[in-house]
Amino acid sequence: MRAHHRFWPRRLPHVIHPPQTSLWDNLAINARRYPDKPALVFFGRQVSYRELAEGAERLAAYLHALGVQRGDRVLLCMQNCPQLVMAHFAILRANAVVVPVNPMNRAQELGHYITDPQARVAITTGDLAAELAQASQTLEPAQRLAHLLVTQFTDAFDLQAAGEDAPPPGWHEWLGTHHPLPVLDGGTVHGWSDALACTGPVPEHVVGPQDLAVLPYTSGTTGLPKGCMHPHRSLMHNAVASSLWGNASSENVTLAVVPMFHITGMVSVMHASIYSGATLVVMPRWDRDLAGRLISRWKVTAWTNIPTMVIDLLASPHFAHYDLSSLNYIGGGGAAMPQAVAQRLQEQYGLRYAEGYGLTETAAPSHSNPPDDPKQQCLGIPFMSTDARVVDPDTLQEMPVGEQGEIIIHGPQVFDGYWQQPKATAAVFVEFEGRRFFRSGDLGRVDEDGYFFITDRLKRMINASGFKVWPAEVEALMFRHPAIQEACIISTQDAYRGESVKAVVVLRPGHEHVTEEEIIAWCRQNMAVYKVPRQVQFVTALPKSGSGKVMWRLLQEREQASGGQ
């Protein structure tokens, strides 16, 4: 027994034994159990469990006809929509591996997600298809996509939907536009309806717990993003554990607004809900009044989110019209929930916001607050079947209660390693008490009750509203600007996002006329919007060490000392 077990939900075991099957089986089983029950709701259009499974099988047959074999990596680049869920499970049904890609990425960034996993097939929406085609075109012929499967948002809902189910004002053009299919150099573009009409055979489903299921990418302090190898068993554990932890059942109605390309939305929302036989009410992107309407309309019971979403919803001038009484679970992570907001939720609605903590490498939660005993602005306690410690980063000796050290994690949800990067994999695993622990790179402490708190980062990373921004990646993109000689990315305080991105830039001789606005506009065209610097500071030189390395810590300390001024 450890200190935190005193606060463990009494209804739950400390360790669970998840099904020894593939993730696909969770959908297949519930399609038989609840064939007519809504699995997905999207602007009023309902997709039953039977329809979802049958559609995924048709897509799997189509992928098989395109040559997708066991273990092949297939890109999936979409905002939240029913097609994302169907395509995700279709790839798994075809014995292949899902490579989830952030749809905010631009062509300059997307090339790496094609070449690194050696993906030959990608599935996307019409608004993003041209960007993927452009990314493929810039690659060597042997590295390019061979097939691009494209769906339109209107394949999944009626644009004329009215009332509480209607898209927000201004969304009709984005959602309703039927984008022409792009040309794919050296490859073929396929329409969604053709894929769903496939009458070919579905391959035998042969993968199991040990097979690679998902390859989500995570960035780091150096180099390009790395693929995290997650077999079916690691995601299965956290899907089952998240369902149990949140007291889920087949009667649950979950608001799916956190992105399902991201590990939290994918595992703790999508896979946990499909495992439970619950209903997912899908939002393609955040809009506070749409969220308020959908919670009220569909009697949402569970909402995993980023704290900034809750803050925004509570600030809506229409908030008094929304009925949140159906909610019985609310929680999330990515950023700390302000104490005043958490207090308001508890006093006004009896909801105790349960924060959690996890990384792409840990298939979302490695820690979570017990729903009945959460502590505010706290990571929570080690999750089901999980052991976590705080150790000295240099000696790996466990730190006493209350003292800062690096958080290390051991559990069935921990990934197998980085795709084709044995050195990077070896660097993040250590042996502790005879077992293999993952080094999180985050500094924290444990209190006398066994609850974990984050205190700082070993890794150089900016957390903007829960989106992780890795400075080295942004710097590498900015160096492509013809006017930029050097750039250093640091964080700056932001009252709403917590942190925002700031670029400290040295311009090339002859380019002194370039403005902050021009740099920011260029960044918006060449990188995901959450990575784009909100501020650009021009300097004549960056501080460097004796070895010539940019002293980013010094710039960061100056920024903190100035309070962003």
Task: Say whether pLDDT at 272 is over 80.
Answer: yes
pLDDT level of residue 470 (50, 70, 90 thresholds): confident
CA dihedral 465, 466, 468, 474 (to 10 degrees): -20
The residue among 205, 266, 207 whose CA lies nearest residue 238 is: 266
Task: Say whether pLDDT at 107 is over 70.
Answer: yes
According to the model, what pLDDT value does residue 277 have?
98
According to the model, what pLDDT value does residue 344 have?
87
Average pLDDT on 309-330 reads: 92
Task: Say whether pLDDT at 468 is over 90.
Answer: no
Domains annotated on the chain, with CATH: 462-562 (3.30.300.30)
Instruction: Name the residue with higher pLDDT: 481 or 160.
Output: 481
pLDDT level of residue 47 (50, 70, 90 thresholds): very high
Question: Can you read off the two tokens belonging to residue 6?
Answer: 């005193």
Residues 268, 328: Cα–Cα separation, whole Å: 16
How many of the other CB atoms lie within 10 Å of CB of 168? 14
According to the model, what pLDDT value does residue 162 have?
83
Residues 236, 16: Cα–Cα separation, whole Å: 11
Average pLDDT on 312-331 reads: 93
**385 half-sphere exposure, CB direction, 13 A CA radius:** 21
Task: Say whether pLDDT at 456 is over 90.
Answer: no
The residue among 477, 30, 452 whose CA lies nearest residue 252 is: 30
Question: Can you read off the two tokens belonging to residue 204?
Answer: 């035998």
Question: Using one digit for the tens of pLDDT, what is the confidence trace for 13-43?
Answer: 999 999 999 999 999 999 999 999 999 999 9
- pLDDT-above-70 percentage for the chain: 98
Residues 555, 230: Cα–Cα separation, whole Å: 37
Task: Say whether pLDDT at 546 is over 90.
Answer: no
pLDDT level of residue 374 (50, 70, 90 thresholds): very high
Long-range contacts of range 318-323, CB-CB < 8 Å, 24 or more positions apart?
Answer: 318/289, 318/292, 319/292, 321/292, 321/296, 322/292, 322/293, 322/295, 322/296, 323/295, 323/296
According to the model, what pLDDT value does residue 500 have?
92
Mean pLDDT of the chain: 94
CA dihedral 437, 334, 214, 363 (to 10 degrees): 40
| φ and ψ at residue 504, rounded to 5 degrees | -105, 115
Strand partners, 364: 359
Residues 269, 243: Cα–Cα separation, whole Å: 9
According to the model, what pLDDT value does residue 1 have?
83
Per residue in 115-125, is it b (16+ CB within 10 Å) or e — as a string? bbbebbbbbbb
The distance from CA 258 to its chain's CA centroid, rounded to whole angstroms, is 8
Lowest mean pLDDT among 333-347, 358-372, 433-447: 333-347
Q: Quick one: residue 256, left, alpha or beta (phi over 0 = left, psi -120 to 50 = alpha)?
A: beta
The residue among 464, 265, 251, 447 whose CA lies nearest residue 364 is: 265
| φ and ψ at residue 468, rounded to 5 degrees | -85, 125
Residues 6+ apart with CB under 8 A from 99: 73, 74, 75, 76, 113, 117, 119, 214, 215, 216, 217, 227
According to the model, what pLDDT value does residue 548 have?
67
Three-state secondary structure call for residue 43? coil
Average pLDDT on 280-298 reads: 96
According to the model, what pLDDT value does residue 400 have?
97
pLDDT level of residue 222 (50, 70, 90 thresholds): low
pLDDT level of residue 214 (50, 70, 90 thresholds): very high
Task: Say whether pLDDT at 191 is over 90.
Answer: yes
Residue for token pair 């509203």: 465
Average pLDDT on 232-250 reads: 96
Task: Say whether pLDDT at 304 is over 90.
Answer: yes
Name the E strands within 450-515.
452-457, 462-464, 467-469, 484-494, 498-507
Residues 335, 379: Cα–Cα separation, whole Å: 10
According to the model, what pLDDT value does residue 341 have?
86
How many of the other CB atoms lie within 10 Å of CB of 321? 11
Three-state secondary structure call for residue 465? coil
According to the model, what pLDDT value does residue 547 have?
60
Task: Say whether pLDDT at 404 is over 90.
Answer: yes
According to the model, what pLDDT value does residue 550 have?
83
pTM over 0.95: no
Three-state secondary structure call for residue 88? helix
Residues 181, 413: Cα–Cα separation, whole Å: 39
Sign, CA torsion 338/343/346/352: positive
Three-state secondary structure call for residue 549? coil
The residue among 292, 295, 264 whose CA lies nearest residue 281 is: 295
Residues 64, 68: Cα–Cα separation, whole Å: 5
Residues 289, 321: Cα–Cα separation, whole Å: 10
Average pLDDT on 476-503 reads: 89
Query: Residues 362, 237: contact at Cβ < 8 Å?
Result: no
According to the model, what pLDDT value does residue 565 have?
62
According to the model, what pLDDT value does residue 348 have?
86
Average pLDDT on 251-273 reads: 97
Query: Residues 479, 468: contact at Cβ < 8 Å?
Result: no
pLDDT level of residue 406 (50, 70, 90 thresholds): very high
Average pLDDT on 337-359 reads: 89
The residue among 490, 477, 488 whose CA lies nearest residue 522 is: 477
Residues 6+ apart with CB under 8 A from 317: none
According to the model, what pLDDT value does residue 533 have?
96
- DSSP annotation of 271 reads I
N-term to C-term CA, the chain: 49
Alpha-helical segments (H) within 252-410: 263, 272-276, 288-298, 307-314, 339-349
